[in-house]
Amino acid sequence: MTIRLTVRRADWLAHVHGVADATPGLVPVVKGNGYGFRRWNLMEIAGELSREVAVGTVFEVRDTPSHLTPIVLTPTLTAPPKNLPMNTVLTVGSPHHVVALTRAQWRGDVIVKLQSSTRRFGVALANLQPLLSDIADAQFTIRGFAIHPPIAGDMAAHIADITQWLDHIDPALPVYISHLDTAAYASLRRNYPSRDFRMRLGTPLWHGDKSTMHLTADIVDHHPVESKSFAGYTQVPIKGPGEIVIVGCGTAHGVSLLDDGRSPFHFQRQRLNMLEPPHMHVSMLFVARGRPIPSIGEWIDVQQSLIKVQVDLLQWA
């Protein structure tokens, strides 16, 4: 039972390095499931592009090589792991985050998260100076500031999210930003040449050329069924003769129905119907009698977002 991501390595690397070359101040983001590649596989490449790497949580720092500076994007209210490297940079966006790190006896660097129109975590302008005072009292060193515009909306609004803060923060410190396209980022740097902007990139960097990737799963078994019988975990009634086809991946791999309820599986450019939603390590399909059926051991296409899939096998082609 296997779900496999096959990547044309040379073409994929050419895209990654092309994006990096076009993005001064790049900070690669390697978080979550590693965008389908697994975090530790991306870390080596991230180290070729930057001296900093952004990870999702304090628990993801362990995959960071010692020569890279890990920047944790999400604040923590629990004590960081005891073996957290001292070059780790943590994010704070409220007094609660400072208190939590103080209680954990943290003595490293921090990035101050500034509120954007996303309205996620981040300090509001009215509370910035009190937060900076709390950070000074805690004897943390401020490494920079971070602003996270939303994905939706136009680039002008994203730039406004960033520039509204520039008169209120230390101009000597870098500003970490996200969700600007190449033209908008170039414009921002051109209009504020004295500022050190650093662009955090994840999806556009690793997934910018999806033609280099192919997600597949193997067929574990299949067997015929007849009308008026039942099959599946939920005992689905069979309305016509056909074949139950067992695919070697399921919810444990992050595979689910598409948002519109359709099957994510394809064979010979045709969508295969689900018998029922995927389960832990297998998915059960129903193929009507007379239609093409993949052989046992054959690989079929899986239509699924790589940001949530846990692949069993990463295959470089």
Q: For 10-34, how does the pLDDT look when each residue is reduced to its tens digit (9 = 90+)? A: 999 999 999 999 999 999 999 999 9
Note whether 131 and 111 are within 8 A (CB): no
Looking at 206, 231, 258, the residue that finishes a domain is: 206
What distance in Å separates the CA atoms of residue 4 and residue 183, rounded to the nearest whole number?
35
Looking at 206, 240, 264, the residue that finishes a domain is: 206
| 180 found inside a domain | yes
Residues 45 and 154 in one domain: yes
pLDDT at 124: 97
Q: In Å, how far from its chain's centre is CA 245?
A: 31
Residues 312 and 188 in one domain: no
pLDDT at 146: 98
Q: Which two tokens stand for residue 85?
A: 């490297």
What distance in Å separates the CA atoms of residue 208 and residue 176, rounded to the nearest whole number?
21
CATH number of residue 67's parent domain = 3.20.20.10
What distance in Å separates the CA atoms of residue 138 and residue 268, rounded to the nearest whole number?
61
Note whether 165 and 122 are within 8 A (CB): no
Residues 141 and 193 in one domain: yes
Note whether 303 and 227 are within 8 A (CB): no
| 2 found inside a domain | no
| 139 found inside a domain | yes
pLDDT at 125: 96
Residues 200 and 222 in one domain: no
State which amino acid sits at residue 196. Answer: D
| Tokens 């096959």 sit on residue | 6
| Tokens 């359709």 sit on residue | 262
Q: Model pTM?
A: 0.93
Residues 139 and 268 in one domain: no
Question: Residue 230 sits in which domain range?
Answer: 210-316
Q: In Å, how far from its chain's centre is CA 221?
A: 32
| 123 found inside a domain | yes
What distance in Å separates the CA atoms of residue 28 and residue 46, rounded to the nearest whole number?
6
Residues 214 and 196 in one domain: no
What distance in Å separates the CA atoms of residue 310 and residue 202, rounded to the nearest whole number?
17
Note whether 33 and 307 are within 8 A (CB): yes
Residues 158 and 281 in one domain: no
| 3 found inside a domain | no
CATH number of residue 302's parent domain = 2.40.37.10
Residues 174 and 108 in one domain: yes
pLDDT at 1: 80
Residues 198 and 247 in one domain: no
Q: For the chain, what is the radius of gyration of the CA atoms?
A: 24
Note whether 215 and 189 are within 8 A (CB): no
Helix (H) or strand (E) holding 271: strand 270-271
| 41 found inside a domain | yes
Looking at 157, 182, 206, the residue that finishes a domain is: 206
Q: Longest Cα pair distance anywhere in the chain, in angstroms?
A: 74
| 192 found inside a domain | yes
| φ, ψ dihedrals at 38, nearest 5° | 75, 140
pLDDT at 177: 98
pLDDT at 114: 98
Residues 116 and 218 in one domain: no
Residues 49 and 176 in one domain: yes
pLDDT at 82: 82
Below-70 pLDDT ranges, the chain: none
Residues 299 and 163 in one domain: no
pLDDT at 79: 84
pLDDT at 80: 86
| 4 found inside a domain | no
Q: How many domains does the chain have?
A: 2
